[in-house]
Amino acid sequence: MSILIKNVLLDRSETHVYVEDNIIQEIGKKIEADCVIDGKNKAILPGMVNTHTHAAMCLFRGYADDMKLDEWLQTKIWPLELKLKPEDVYWGTKLACLEMIKTGTTCFNDMYFFMENAANAVDEMGLRAFLSYGFIDLFNEEKREKEIKKTKETIRNIENMRNDRIKPALGPHAVYTVSEEALRWIKNYADEKNLIIHFHLAETKKENEDFVKKHNKRIVKYLEEICFLDKKLIAAHCIWLTNMDINLLEKHNVKISYNPASNMKLASGVFNYQKMNKLTVSLGTDGCASNNNLDMFEEMKIGSLLQKSYFNDETIMPAKEMFNIATLNGAKALGFNAGKIEEGKLADILLMDLKKTEITPCHDLISDLVYSANGSAVDTTICNGKILMENRKVEGEEEILEKAKKVASDLISR
């Protein structure tokens, strides 16, 4: 299928963008196409890339707010997750995909359970995703073998889908839930299969202090010693790090996912972008139990303002830099050819409505998108050359909302 987006704003100039199959083939020429979209009063942007989330946790949105982290996990989140069924994850992921389509995210990096069902949801919704089974062995050998088996099975099932938009990944949860033996196996298996690893790192002060007390060394140093640090590792949060820790991450070209809204809500701490901006830093929302939405436009604003306020410097994380973090850096971290409106890039595209009040008078579009707009300014979402939303309408939206409400209600009442 070919698409011509005519008379659309790109970098302050009106132009035409031609997409054939799933690639941006031409910018500037008005080429005949199967589908023509009028881009008048719209700006064309690359899709947002969410590098850390737990999509199906949309079902937990608003279920357990304003609680201490340990209490939140142990009395609310983990007990509810034990009740999850495959159908819950399917509809929870469909709800997340719907929210992402409507707020401009075209690719996400997800870690959760029943990931074959999540993959089916992503397949049907048309987004791009990297999906990892949340590996937790709790330092138990018997459980570790079961988790290895489940991980291999999940990867095999996703590979058998033969869908270029959906890639398997490996998802060890964190050092406090995954054994050294498992982390070594995961790294070796990632090398063998050429997969990314999605991991929570140094999210809380307690996580760091407990680890040092038990092992008499810091988490990052331990990970280097077991050869876990790597260019295909995407480490979420990365708050409680020393200069030495950061140097080690930089040495091994580890990719970082910054999750400001979740970190603020759970009072986890503040990511130090000043010290980590030499690394590939991308943006993630985390799950809706700790955010509570998947709107990457909102995340950009929160992420930039948090840095300015906390470090008392108005110039940190300026709008253009923040925009690249949410788009191009995410694509770089996950290793796919998108994140810019450029010939030869994958056609993961947004059209923004320039008639929105919050983008008026539009002295600087990127500043408006980062500091003023939210996902409701997205008019059209295209992923892999396919139109997923136009004029803010998504096919099947009503059914998804209805089913997601029902499975969420059933889950809580079990």
Concatenating the DSSP letter of every residue in 327-395 gives: THHHHHHHT-S-SS--TTSB--EEEEETTSGGG-S-S-HHHHHHHT--GGGEEEEEETTEEEEBTTB-T
Sign of CA dihedral 319, 285, 45, 329: positive
d(CA 348, CA 338): 7
Does residue 353 share a domain with residue 313?
A: no
Does residue 363 share a domain with residue 303?
A: no
Cis peptide bond prior to 163, omega within 30° of 0? no
Strands 42-46 and 13-20: unpaired
Residue type, 67: M
pLDDT, position 68: 87
pLDDT, position 142: 98
404 inside domain: no
Does residue 384 share a domain with residue 359?
A: yes
Report whether 161 contacts 119 (CB < 8 A).
yes
410 inside domain: no
Report whether 18 contacts 2 (CB < 8 A).
yes
As a three-state string, the secondary structure of 135-193 is ECCCCCHHHHHHHHHHHHHHHHHHHHHCCCCEEEEEEECCCCCCCHHHHHHHHHHHHHH
Q: What integer best gives the mean pLDDT of the chain?
A: 97
- The three-state secondary structure class of 134 is strand
Does residue 112 share a domain with residue 131?
A: yes
pLDDT, position 107: 99
Does residue 136 share a domain with residue 62?
A: yes
285 inside domain: yes
Residue 364, domain CATH: 2.30.40.10
Taking the mean position of all CA atoms in its chain, how far away is CA 45?
A: 17
Domain range for 19 is: 2-46+347-397
Does residue 81 share a domain with residue 38?
A: no
Residue 66, number of CB atoms within 10 A of its CB: 6
pLDDT, position 131: 98
Report whether 322 contacts 350 (CB < 8 A).
no
Q: How many domains does the chain have?
A: 2
pLDDT band of residue 70 (cuts 50, 70, 90) is: confident
For residue range 369-413, list pLDDT tens digits in order: 999 999 999 999 999 999 999 999 999 999 999 999 999 999 999
Taking the mean position of all CA atoms in its chain, how far away is CA 180?
A: 26
pLDDT band of residue 69 (cuts 50, 70, 90) is: confident
d(CA 258, CA 233): 14
Share of the chain above pLDDT 70, in %: 100
For residue range 335-381, list pLDDT tens digits in order: 999 999 999 999 999 999 999 999 999 999 999 999 999 999 999 99
How large is the average pLDDT for residues 37-43?
98
Run of H or E including 38: strand 35-38
| pLDDT higher than threshold 90 for residue 123 | yes
Share of the chain above pLDDT 90, in %: 98
pLDDT, position 73: 87
How large is the average pLDDT for residues 237-266?
98
pLDDT, position 38: 98
Does residue 35 share a domain with residue 57?
A: no
Does residue 14 share a domain with residue 72?
A: no
pLDDT, position 375: 98
For residue range 167-180, list pLDDT tens digits in order: 999 999 999 999 99
Report whether 53 contacts 109 (CB < 8 A).
yes
Residue 62, domain CATH: 3.20.20.140
β-pair partners for 257? 236, 282
Tokens of residue 74, six digits: 């142990």
For residue range 313-325, list pLDDT tens digits in order: 999 999 999 999 9
Last residue of a domain, one of 334, 359, 380: 334
Does residue 252 share a domain with residue 373?
A: no
Concatenating the DSSP letter of every residue in 225-280 gives: HTT---TTEEEEE--S--HHHHHHHHHTT-EEEE-HHHHHHTT-----HHHHTTS-
β-pair partners for 10? 13
Does residue 204 share a domain with residue 114?
A: yes
